[in-house]
Amino acid sequence: MGLLSMLFGGGKKSEQIKELLASGAMIVDVRTPGEFQGGHAKGAVNIPVQRIGSQMAKLSKQKQTIILCCRSGARAAGVAAQLQKEGISCINAGPWQKVAGLQ
């Protein structure tokens, strides 16, 4: 798979996200509340980047892989690294519109 396919929604990652959604995975949108109000994936929980640390205990209790999204995927990538460092299973799904399109 090429770099552009990975960045813009192709292949294995999309299939993985679909499987996680089908199994009821938690979607965490890490944008600001204002951005979240402007649109978000169905069922997403808004936990802005700045609040991830204070929500770590809640997130660590999740039994399934957490789906992370934001506007472009950059903030979600940073949060994914933080969560993975704490042993929390998660995936950076990129833009929230991608997640919404896979629901």
> pTM score > 0.75 for this model?
yes
Looking up residue 69, the CATH number of its domain turns out to be 3.40.250.10
95 has which bridge partners?
Answer: 70
Residues β-bridged to residue 90:
66
Question: What's the number of domains the chain is made of?
Answer: 1
Q: Is 69 contained in some domain?
A: yes
C-alpha separations of 74 from 24, 26, 29, 57 in Å: 24, 19, 12, 23
CB 48 within 8 A of CB 32: yes
- Domain assignment present for residue 91? The answer is yes
pLDDT digit string (tens) for 39-71? 999 999 999 999 999 999 999 999 999 999 999
Structural domain harbouring 37 = 22-102
- Is residue 82 in a domain? yes
